[in-house]
């Protein structure tokens, strides 16, 4: 059921992302999705049994559906259509790198601690760090903290 939940959330957030009131806040919506997903991932540590893990998975998949929808849109908003392909390629490279490295780190944490909960804590903490970076990016673009000359872009 998690796949259907994520797909439904992708459709809903994709539709909502084009609404006028959300169009100007897509960067913030991406931050909220990442942050909430990170907090919910940490719930897996305390989820006990199949029912707790299934409930946490369903709720997490809804928020990660928002991340899947808003990431390319915010990326295009930030860099423009001219640089979207290079930027998207670098973003996917980073995601692929984390897919290769994360199991090694999580396996080492499991071997060290004897439980998978340390690995889940690592995943949740990494997602929260990513949400912090997204918040910095949101504040940077909203308040134009570090203006970049048009010739540099």
Q: Which range among 1-5, 65-69, 90-94, 124-128 shows the weakest confidence by mean pLDDT?
A: 1-5
pLDDT tens, 60-105?
776 777 777 778 877 787 777 788 888 888 888 888 888 888 888 8
| Residue 106 confidence (pLDDT) above 80 | yes
Q: Which residues contact 13 (CB under 8 A, 6 or more apart)?
A: 29, 33, 65, 66, 69, 70
What's the pLDDT band for 6 if we cut at 50, 70, 90?
A: low
Does the CA dihedral 94-127-131-15 come out positive or negative? positive
Quick one: tokens of 127? 């997602």
29 or 3: which leads in pLDDT: 29
Rg over CA atoms, the chain: 17
Quick one: tokens of 104? 């090694």
Look up residue 150 and give its DSSP letter: T
| Residue 57 confidence (pLDDT) above 50 | yes
């Amino acid at each position: 059921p998690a796949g259907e939940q994520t797909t439904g959330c992708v459709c809903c957030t994709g539709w909502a992302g084009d609404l006028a009131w959300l169009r100007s806040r897509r960067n913030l919506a991406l931050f909220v999705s990442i942050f909430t997903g990170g907090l919910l991932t940490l719930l897996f540590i305390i989820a006990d049994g199949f029912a707790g893990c299934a409930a946490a998975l369903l709720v997490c998949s809804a928020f990660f559906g928002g991340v899947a929808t808003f990431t390319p849109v915010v990326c295009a908003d930030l860099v423009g259509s001219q640089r979207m392909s290079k930027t998207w390629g670098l973003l996917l490279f980073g995601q692929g790198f984390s897919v290769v490295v994360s199991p090694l780190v999580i396996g080492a944490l499991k071997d060290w601690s004897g439980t998978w909960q340390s690995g889940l804590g690592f995943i949740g903490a990494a997602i929260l760090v990513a949400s912090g970076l997204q918040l910095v990016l949101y504040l940077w673009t909203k308040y134009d903290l570090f203006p970049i000359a048009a010739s540099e872009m």
